[in-house]
Amino acid sequence: MTAPLRPMNLGEILDRAFQIYRSRFLVFAGIAALPALAVAVEYIAANTWLLHHQIHGQNLLFQMSLHGLLQTLLLYAATAFLHVLARPAYVRAVASTVSDMPCSLRHALDATLQRWRTILALDLFEQLVVLLAPASIFIACVVITGMAVDSSQVDNAAVAGAFLLFFTITAALVIYFLWIGACYSLSFAAAVLEGISWFDAIKRSWKLSKKSRGRVILTWSGVCVGSFVCSFVMRWTLYFVLFFTVGSRGIWHGFPLYSVYYSLASAVISTLLGPIYPIAITLFYYDQRIRLEGYDIERMMDAAGMNAPELSPTEDSPIASAAPEEVQP
């Protein structure tokens, strides 16, 4: 008989996520490596294009310009899209792992191929609502603030007011980004494990994420901070290694060398840390079903043979060590 289920706190979910990650490290690392390498190639190509059109000092100014912001937004959107394609594979791999079912890298990636229309629709929705909407408002604020500062007829008080308004709107956009992202964070797990449409998955995520959005934000923030720290250490380590081996000329005039090393090193960090958040989100999905829908009682009744036989196996929970239909080999 399946062991009784119970809600888990944030620490238990993260601990369980690390256990699952370690149990099939190569599978999860393989899933993360595919978008990470694609992103590395994307950034190397973008930086190479910049190098052939501008010197490094101009590159720095370009990154702070409107065109630079737009390019950064497009690169970030492309990066997010590539990582989104791997989410169904994480969901399937997590469910297979905790259900003691065999799961290869190819079997996990099949989840994306089988639900690619739903995944693309969810990604488009997430890009528009979670990313592009606040980013567009932020860029508009940058432009308006810049125009206010450049205007010779605006006094210091008006400039200070413009900057205050800019930082206030920026803080509001960050809060919106975190909150709306948490609201829809469970949509991919719902779409894959329940076999529902993208719109139904969005509604399910909105419902299931209630009273747990703060935990999701903390998990995402923790992973981002860890990635930033690793990236910061790696970036400056590469900088000083190149500086002391080939000199300052090797840093700036040999910019492609630095760009390639940095992009590949970032891909390694993304491969190692990338699986933690999607694994935890899959566990959040089942934990919320227990909290809001009494899924633990349902699973115990099913184990005792008290549920109707036609109950879909896709409702089984990986926390309960029962395999959903989509994780069958």
pLDDT tens profile 91-150: 999 988 877 788 889 999 898 888 888 988 998 898 888 877 887 787 777 777 767 666
How far is the CA of 199 from the CAs of 117, 122, 170, 190, in angstroms? 12, 8, 29, 11
3 lies in a domain? no
- Model confidence, pTM: 0.78
Collapse the DSSP code of 8 into the 3-class scheme (helix H, G, I; strand E, B; otherwise coil) and give the result.
coil
How far is the CA of 65 from the CAs of 71, 162, 173, 188, 255, in angstroms? 10, 18, 20, 35, 20
Contacts from 131-140 at CB under 8 Å and sequence distance 24+?
131/76, 131/77, 131/80, 131/177, 132/73, 132/77, 134/173, 134/176, 134/177, 135/73, 137/169, 137/173, 138/169, 138/170, 138/173, 139/66, 139/69, 139/70, 139/73
At 238-296, the pLDDT tens digits run: 777 777 776 555 445 455 677 787 788 888 998 999 999 999 999 999 889 888 876 55
Mean pLDDT of the chain: 77
207 lies in a domain? yes
214 lies in a domain? yes
Asked if 275 contacts 28 with a C-beta cutoff of 8 angstroms, the reply is yes
1 lies in a domain? no
For the chain, the domain total comes to 1
Asked if 208 contacts 288 with a C-beta cutoff of 8 angstroms, the reply is yes
At 179-217, the pLDDT tens digits run: 999 999 999 999 998 989 999 999 999 999 988 899 999
The pLDDT assigned to 98 comes to: 72
How far is Cα 172 from Cα 183, in angstroms, rounded to an integer? 16
How far is Cα 276 from Cα 311, in angstroms, rounded to an integer? 31
More confident of the two residues 162 and 5: 162
The pLDDT assigned to 70 comes to: 61
186 lies in a domain? yes
- Please report how many Cα atoms fall inside a 13 Å half-sphere around the Cα of residue 158, on the Cβ side: 12
More confident of the two residues 204 and 69: 204
Helix axes 56-63, 66-84, angle to 10 degrees: 80
Residue 159, token pair as written in the block = 């400039």
Asked if 111 contacts 329 with a C-beta cutoff of 8 angstroms, the reply is no
At 223-241, the pLDDT tens digits run: 989 888 988 888 788 777 7
Q: Which domain holds residue 285?
A: 10-327
Which residue matches tokens 């690392």?
A: 29
The pLDDT assigned to 202 comes to: 95
19 lies in a domain? yes
2 lies in a domain? no
